[in-house]
Chains A and B, each alone.
Chain A
Amino acid sequence: MRTSQDRLPRLLALVPYLIARPGIPVEEAAADFGVSAKQLRKDLELLWMCGLPGYGPGDLIDLSFEGDTISVNFDAGMNRPLRLTGAEATALLVALRTLLEAPGVADADAVRRAVAKIEAAAGQAQPAGVAVGLGVREGKNTVLARQVVQGALKAGHALRMTYYTASKDEINERTVDPMRMLIVEGRSYLEAWCRRAEAVRLFRLDRIDDVTELDEPAAPPPYAEQTDTTAGLFRERPDQEVAQLVLEPDARWVSEYYPVEKMTELDGGRLRIRMRYADLSWMVRLLLGLGGDVTVEEPEELAAGLRDRARRALARAGQLTVTP
């Protein structure tokens, strides 16, 4: 809302906006339009110069300022906002319908009523060309966990939970102060202050094995900040190792599923990637599972460790066939 291209839509919306809210403070209007009070005043000054042909005193848009508030005395015929464009109706209505599908969104009934009203007001501008399916798959346990987590969020209570940390393949008990729930890329997360880690953490709901709402209030410290999910959930950190891998065609999905850097196409549809990992045991599990579809080029310790672990696993499985 800050570039000059956005100015004309704002100018066309301002007069109807002010008519609907006589005497609104400039600051409040500016906040609704996402601009500074100074910019809003400039817009109002410009509108004041506009009007109907003739452009005499009775033809121009007439605004009155009283202290810091504004009212419209003459609108020159511009008393309703412009209809929604197809793109606007799409972005808004598709988003609303997506909410209906998101597990646990508070009030599906209110969403449906909002959709019906906006569709009616939008007229011909019906959503087209964009569809969203969150496709959140929730097991029975996850549904139960979500209900407890939502209850705690509403009541403002802390939670005690048994949580599976996939990176370390560990199950731990921890007490957390819930902050909000998120659905990112088809998965539900609880964002909370973890008292054990003394940091904000995102917990996947399907990895919560058990959870209880506590009587004590949720008290994340004031400096606990919400995670910015704009660039995805993986955070790059200097202490992470970097592996160089060559993916066979069947393992190319790794480059789509995990954040990777520096991809190079090789012959035969193979792909060389560099991939960060925070935890060695996690990387070893991933690579063992990929079997021959991946070659570890760097670091050598990772390649050697992987070979050893595979050999020990083969030896143990071999024992089974000897002594059933």
Chain B
Amino acid sequence: MSVARAERLVNLVLCLLSTRQYLTAEHIRSLVAGYSDAPTDEAFFRMFERDKAELRDLGVPLEVGRNWSFDTVDGYRIARRDYELGDIDLEPDEAAAVALAVRLWDSPELTGAAAGALLKLRAAGVDVDQGVPAVVEPKVRTTEPAFGPLLAAVQAGQAVSFDYRRPSPAELRRRTLEPWGVVSWRGRWYVVGHDRDRDAPRCFRLSRIVGEVTSAGRPGVVQRPADVDLLQFVSKSSGEPPDTSTVRLWLAKNRAAGLRRRANVVGEQTIDGVAGDVAELEVWHTDSAASWIAGYGEDAVVLEPELLRKSVHERLLAVAGSTGGK
């Protein structure tokens, strides 16, 4: 932004804050320093339109209206009560919480917005020391390229289209979504909204979006239902862990440390001339338990249940029979 433009915009804000009357564009042109540079009417209106857009982007509440019913054109003013941040005074421990919160984001979009908020709090007289180390430092990252466009679409209330790859059954399909929000659940980002193709609410994992997110329709169209809890929607969709079950394993002596630290040794047994322990282990899903146990190869053998034993067996059989290479 040029020095002249920055100066003009500050002057415009000061002028519109100081007036109770709506000022027409022509009036502003003659009043506010900087606009007299415009050589023609057309150049002035172009300049003024750009300035209004810039201020609105920053969140400056420009009011449009007429002072009298017989006025023929709209005027502009800024209502002070809408412009100004409310009074705020933070205790040191509250300010420390704010400093930690600002550091939460590892994300170009959200880091910038949080920094903007911090700037305004400081300008309101709040002292926030960012150098204080915290005992626990949570971090939330956004690395998916789709994050920026989706957040922008959510904030603009604009529908989007994207290619989405579902792993199982595998398919790549174009989706059109009215996005209600972006949600980080256990370190992964999702977008939640109304899926126009399915005509139902759905959530999509950002890492499975292929290529670019494009807008589909005008801004300001998407309405988020008031009763939807975004976080709950995603956490329910991703499934809560089921009840645990206990399984019995044989573990070779001094091997399979990862399994042993979760298991209770209840006896001893020798298999294939190799000394080992019989251990009990709590597991969640048969599938993920089978992967975990199969990973230990000959150091872990499933004693029961049969379903888990078979599941491990199948995995090992597939690897043993693989030809490998290209």
Chain A positions within 8 Å of B, measured between CB atoms, are 1, 4-5, 7-14, 16-17, 20-21, 32-34, 46-47, 49-53, 55, 76-78, 80-92, 95-96, 98-99, 102-107, 110-111, 113-114, 117-118, 120-123, 125, 128-135, 150, 153-154, 164, 166, 169-171, 180-188, 209, 229-232, 249-250, 252-253, 256, 268-270, 284-292, 295-298, 300, 303-304, 306-307, 309-317, 319-320, 323
Contacts and interface: CB of A to CB of B under 8 A. Distances in A.
A197 B259 CA distance: 24
A181 B124 contact: no
Given A253-B167, A291-B318, A55 B33 contact: yes
A323 B270 CA distance: 10
Closest 3 CB pairs of A and B: A269-B170, A185-B187, A292-B318
Nearest to A269: B170
Contacts of A8: 1, 6, 9-10, 54, 58
A87 B113 contact: yes
25 contacts: A1-B119, A13-B119, A21-B125, A46-B10, A78-B17, A85-B58, A91-B114, A95-B104, A98-B104, A107-B96, A110-B96, A111-B97, A121-B86, A132-B183, A180-B135, A252-B170, A268-B170, A269-B171, A285-B296, A288-B297, A288-B316, A291-B318, A309-B297, A309-B319, A313-B298
Contact of B59 (A83, A103, A231): A83
B246 to A, nearest CB: 16
Nearest to B133: A180
A292 B3 contact: no
B42 interface: no
B263 interface: no
A70 to B, nearest CB: 14
Contacts of A288: 294-297, 315-316, 319
A110 B119 contact: no
B135 A99 contact: no
Nearest to B27: A53
A129 B154 contact: yes
Given A8-B1, A88-B117, A310-B297, A121 B87 contact: yes
B18 A319 contact: no
A133 B186 contact: yes
From B18, B111, B234, residue with most partner A Cβ within 10 Å: B18
A181 B180 CA distance: 33
B100 A105 contact: yes
Interface of B: 1, 3, 6-7, 9-11, 13-15, 17-18, 31-33, 54, 58-61, 82-91, 93-98, 100-102, 104-106, 110-111, 113-125, 133-141, 143, 151, 154-155, 165, 167-172, 179-188, 205, 207-208, 224, 230-231, 234-235, 250, 256-258, 261, 271-272, 274, 290-298, 301-303, 309, 312-320, 322, 324-326
A4 B31 CA distance: 26
Nearest to A53: B31
B10 A12 contact: yes
A185 B155 CA distance: 24
A23 B323 CA distance: 77
Contacts of B261: 164, 171, 209
B140 A313 contact: no
Given A7-B1, A132-B184, A256-B207, A314 B320 contact: yes
Contacts of A7: 1, 6
A323 B113 CA distance: 67
Contacts of B88: 117-118, 120-121
Contacts of A13: 119-120, 122-123
Contacts of A291: 291, 294, 314-319
Interface of chain A, helix or strand or loop or mixed? helix
A181 B136 CA distance: 5
B93 A107 contact: yes
Contacts of A132: 140, 183-185, 231
Contacts of A125: 59
Given A10-B119, A82-B120, A314-B316, A185 B85 contact: no
Task: Give the most central of B138, B179, B256, B261: most A CB within 10 Å.
Answer: B138
A307 B257 CA distance: 22
Contacts, number: 411
Contact of B116 (A88, A285, A295): A88
Given A13-B119, A114-B97, A250-B167, 10 more contacts: A47-B10, A78-B13, A83-B120, A99-B138, A110-B94, A114-B95, A117-B89, A183-B137, A284-B297, A309-B319
B99 to A, nearest CB: 10
Contacts of A292: 314-315, 318-319, 322
B318 A113 contact: no
Nearest to B32: A53
Given A83-B84, A170-B257, A250-B168, A185 B141 contact: yes
Contacts of A53: 15, 31-33
A297 B326 contact: yes
B313 A129 contact: no
Contacts of B326: 297
A105 B104 CA distance: 12
B120 A183 contact: no
Contact of B97 (A107, A182, A250, A303): A107
B123 to A, nearest CB: 4
A78 to B, nearest CB: 6
B59 A133 contact: no
B117 A230 contact: no
Nearest to B98: A114
Contact of A92 (B102, B168, B292, B319): B102
